[in-house]
Structure 1
Amino acid sequence: MSPFWIMVTILALALVGYILGRRRAGSSAAGDIRKLHSRPTYYGWNTAIWTALPSLLLLLVWVLAQPLIVDRAVNGNIPDSAVSDSQTRGQIMSEVQGTAFELGRAVNEGIVSQSEARALSLDDAATTEKLAAAGIEITPSAPVLEAAKDYRAFNLNASRALTGAALVLALAGLAWSLSQIKPGYRARNIVESFVRGFLILCSLLAIATTVGIVLSLVFESIRFFQLYPWQDFFFGTEWTPSFGGGSKLGMLPLLWGTLYISLIALLFAVPIGLFAAIYMSEYATPRVRGFVKPVIEVLAGIPTIVYGLFALVTVGPLIRDWIAAPAGFGNSASSVMTAGLVMGIMLIPFVSSLSDDIINAVPQSLRDGSLGLGSTPSETVRNVILPAALPGIVGAILLAASRAIGETMIVVLGAGAMARISGNPFDAMTTITVKIVGQLTGDNDFASPETLVAFALGLTLFVMTLALNIVALVIVRKYREQYE
């Protein structure tokens, strides 16, 4: 049974436990629920939790650990003679997994039986022809085929063991929880403790995710700097990776392109988005606001690949033909200006929608007091509303900045992939995120600096975002203290 159906079965047993728990609580009190410590619903939830929780935890641990254990066991059975000089054990395991998948597909589609799949060999012409007639090619070496059969056998046995263990544990939890139900049993306390623990776990999830991301970036970056000098990475002005050796991995051209494109995008998006938010919240009628705000928010739902195509087909040629070429700045449709303007269009709803909600959250009494003292609406916006909403507006701008720094598709199609340092906004450049994708695309060896450099670039982006948040926090605290 697959993990999905095991989970469905466990949840079905939990539903049965909920019903039985409520009924047993009522029968234990002889039908008088006033004798119960908790309401019958809590007894039902208590039974459902003890039925599902242990089994689901076992399922989670098993699903996470099984691939590692099976891969290690199968990898240990592959002889060294099966690994050629042009291959690594990781590539051999990929071939083993692919062959095992094809065998499993053949069994599931009824082309061969389980016994035929287990007995398959390279000399078995009849079974091989049967598979080939169905469009399934099994052409590995003999050690790989044997390892693939072992891989399938390990997974099948593990799935059977998981099914039995999970169902036994669920039934045991169901029986035990039902046996504990008595009028004085504190089911409500147990259920509320579980809910409290679940909420704490959800709160810690974001922290654990952040820590995991940071640690993975740090450890892989350390591996990179053990292979490549950090001075050349942080201060190098040339980016010419070569998996054959002799790479120059200076990040300054990528950092320059990232900041340049993001700056142009923010210079375009922030004023337009902020002025649109002020208009919608302070000047527009409800009818106009109800039309304009959804139309602006539609921009946030457009896929970035569509923005990239728009930059490639429309904006880039227009800038080249109407501005860059006549002024002698260049003849390329891919440029920093193209990517920056299109990215700015994409960022407008991030700034306008959030700023609009923040400005609307400013108390109406502040507006009334300012207007009552003789201020004009524009003076009220400038001197009262914007200072009060400044922390939220800074947060909206930071969100837009983070979105701009992490954008990839618009840069690929609108700015090109040229790593260079230039002040001309009509030159083609690239960003850190584009090169991260480029370095990790394909079947690359993670022991080479040309691949590990992607993690160092990712760590650089993380530090940049962290610095932006620290600066914004200082600005917010300064203005908030002045306002309060």
Structure 2
Amino acid sequence: MPVSWTLLIVLALAVAGYLATRSRAIALASGDIRRLHSRPSYYGWNAALLTALPALFLIALWRFFQPGADTLLVSAAALVLAAAGLGFALSRTAPGFRARNAVESMVKGLLILCSSIAILTTAGIVLSMLFETGHFFRQYPWQEYFFGTTWSPRFGGGSQLGILPLVWGTLYISVIALAVSVPIGLFAAIYMSEYASPRLRGIAKPAIEVLAGIPTIVYGLFALITVGPLLRDWFAQPLGLGSSGSSVMTAGLVMGIMLIPFVSSLSDDIINAVPQSLRDGALGLGSTHSETIRNVVLPAALPGIVGAVLLAASRAIGETMIVVMGAGAAAQMGLNPFEAMTTITVKIVSQLTGDTDFAAPETLVAFALGLTLFVVTLGLNIIALYVVRKYREQYE
């Protein structure tokens, strides 16, 4: 029997259990629901949860640990467990049964399980990177990895896996992206929260947030087809700075456009959280509208704005597709923004693409790069949370 059929049967049994147990509870109370400890729906949910949850949990565990196991055996065990749960729920149904307590306990356990899965998944990701990074450093010196200035992986030996060119490219592109997104996003947030009418704000804010829903591959195509050639023809070639459409500037500009809604939306929410009484007080003392924004609103919202900028920086550091299609793949260090460079995320993809030997340092270095990127972004997030919590203003 296919597992999908088993799932449908289990869900059908749960629905039947809900209806049957609810009706049984009302019947045992002689139609007077005031005699029941809990509302009739709780008796039904108790049966539905006891019927569905154990069976679904069994199927999930079996499919995870034994994906090739006999589906007939799995289906039979799940249906037996569902029937047993339904029978147990029916047998416990009585006017004095604390159905609400039982349902809330099961829901609480389900929520704890979901939270644990999220935490364990994060721990698994970190531990897998740690273990593989340990294997990498047993084969390649950590001094050359952290302080090497040449990135030249060669399967078969003779690789130079210095991370500094990748770190430089990552930071260079991220700085350009933030230089584009922070002023535009912040000014847009100030305008929408302080100057725009409600009607205009209702149009402008969703229009800006549309940028956040565009897939990054579309931004990459935009960088490759439009922005790159434009920068090459209008700036790089006339100034003698390069002849390639793939450059740090191309990726930085397009990534900055992508980050505008992150900065704008978060800053707008933070500015709107500043109490109106502060604005009224400043205006009452003779300040102009612009002086009120500059001297009262922005200082009050500054910790949250700094947090928004740091979160945008974390997003920029972890971007891949825009860099692949806009900045190229040259691992080099330089100051010319119209030269091709690359980032850590791009090299993680390239080292794990194709037929690779997962025991070779040239492949294991991808896990070291991933762990490095994880530590950097985690540090930025921690700094953002620290700034927001330490300097935020509490208003009544």
TM-score of Structure 1 vs Structure 2, range by shorter chain: over 0.9
**2:240 is the alignment partner of 1:320:** no
2:175 is matched by which residue type in structure 1?
Answer: L
Contact 2:262 2:308 in 1 (8 A): yes
Question: What is the CA–CA distance in structure 2 between the aligned matches of 1:372 and 1:206, rounded to whole Å?
Answer: 50
Instruction: Label 1:482 to 1:286 Cα distance change in 2 as closer, same or farther (>3 A).
Output: closer
- What are the Cα deviations for residues 333-388 of structure 1, in whole angstroms up to 9, with x where unaligned? 11101110011111111111221122112221221122112222122212221222
8 A contact 2:50–2:85 mirrored in 1: yes
Structure 2 regions of 5+ residues with no counterpart?
none
Measured in 2, the distance between the counterparts of 1:483 and 1:57 equals: 46
Q: Does 1:293 align with 2:293?
A: no
Match of 1:408 in 2: 320
For 1:367, which of 276, 279, 285 is the aligned residue?
A: 279
| Counterparts of 2:300 and 2:113, CA distance in 1 | 35
Alignment partners' CA distance in 2, 1:302 and 1:32:
56
| Superposition deviation, residue 201 in structure 1 | 3.2
- How many corresponding residue pairs? 396
* TM value normalised by structure 1: 0.79
Question: How far apart are the structure 1 equivalents of 2:100 and 2:185?
Answer: 50
Identify which range, 23-32 or 10-19, moves more after superposition: 23-32
Work out the CA distance in 2 between the residues paired with 1:221 and 1:4. 40
5 Å matches for 1:452-467?
452-467=364-379
Change (3 A) 1:477 1:313: same
Tell me the alpha carbon deviations over residues 166-186 of structure 1, each in whole angstroms, 9 at most, x when there is no partner.
Answer: 001101111111011111111
2:66 paired with 1:66: yes
Structure-2 residue corresponding to 1:421 = 333
Opposite residue 20 of structure 1, the aligned amino acid is: A
Larger Rg over CA atoms? 1
* 1:223/1:452 contact within 8 Å kept: yes
Question: Match of 1:398?
Answer: 310
Q: Does the 8 Å contact 1:387/1:483 carry over to 2?
A: no
1:405-443 CA-partner distances (Å, limit 9, x unpaired): 111111111100000011111110001111111111123
Which is worse superposed, 46-55 or 437-446?
437-446
Contact kept, 8 Å, 1:273 with 1:351, in 2: the verdict is yes
Matched, 1:273 2:185: yes
The reply on whether 1:436 has 2:348 as its aligned counterpart is yes
Does the 8 A contact of 1:17 with 1:47 survive in 2? yes
Partner residue, 2:32: 32
1:223 aligned to which of 123, 135, 157? 135
Any residues of structure 2 matched to 1:91-130 within 5 Å, and which? none
* 1:163 equivalent in structure 2: 75
CA gap 1:389/1:5 in 2 versus in 1, 3 angstroms? farther
Distance 1:339 1:284, change over 3 A: same
Does the 8 Å CA contact 1:265/1:404 hold for their aligned counterparts?
Answer: yes
Measured after TM superposition, the shift of residue 293 of structure 1 is 1.7
How far did residue 187 of structure 1 move? 0.8
Whether the 8 Å contact between 1:444 and 1:451 is mirrored in structure 2 is: yes
- Maintained 8 Å contact 2:139/2:361: yes
Q: Which string of whole-angstrom CA distances, capped at 9 and with x for unpartnered residues, describes residues 313-349 of structure 1?
A: 1111111111111112111111101110011111111
- d(CA) in 1 for partners of 2:25, 2:57: 27
Distance 1:481 1:33 in 2: 50
